């Protein structure tokens, strides 16, 4: 029965870890992140980071591996979104200065 739960854990880790891969690939190809929520991405980053720490304390390679990969995907999307938000703020500032 332990083998069943071990395999179940690996399958669950693969599903949740790679769920952000299609989004990361789309962001990489298009650089479009306007429709993505910064709040959701930030919360996901914190959650994945906390799971990673938890995995280290538990010495659980499935948790460490899954969240190590997930933090890469989510971190990439999050960093592109942050860059987009900053660019948008600069454009808004320039637009507001031109109006005044």
pLDDT tens-place string over residues 33-65: 999 999 999 999 999 999 999 999 999 999 999
pLDDT band at 75 (very low <50, low <70, confident <90, very high): very high
Q: How many domains does the chain have?
A: 1
Rounded to whole angstroms, the Cα distance separating 68 from 72 reads 7
Residue 14: which CATH number?
1.20.1280.290
Determine the pLDDT at residue 55: 96
Domain that holds residue 73: 2-99
Distances (CA, A) of 72 to 36, 52, 58, 65, 91: 17, 12, 21, 11, 29
Determine the pLDDT at residue 61: 93
């Amino acid at each position: 029965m332990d083998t069943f739960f071990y395999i179940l854990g690996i399958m669950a880790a693969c599903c949740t870890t790679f769920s952000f891969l299609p989004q990361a690939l789309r962001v990489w190809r298009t650089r479009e992140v306007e429709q993505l929520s910064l709040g959701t991405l930030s919360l996901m980053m914190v959650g994945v980071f906390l799971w990673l720490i938890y995995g280290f304390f538990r010495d659980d390679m499935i948790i460490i591996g899954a969240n190590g990969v997930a933090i890469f995907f989510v971190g990439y999307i999050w960093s592109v979104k942050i860059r987009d938000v900053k660019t948008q703020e600069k454009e808004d500032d320039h637009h507001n200065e031109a109006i005044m």
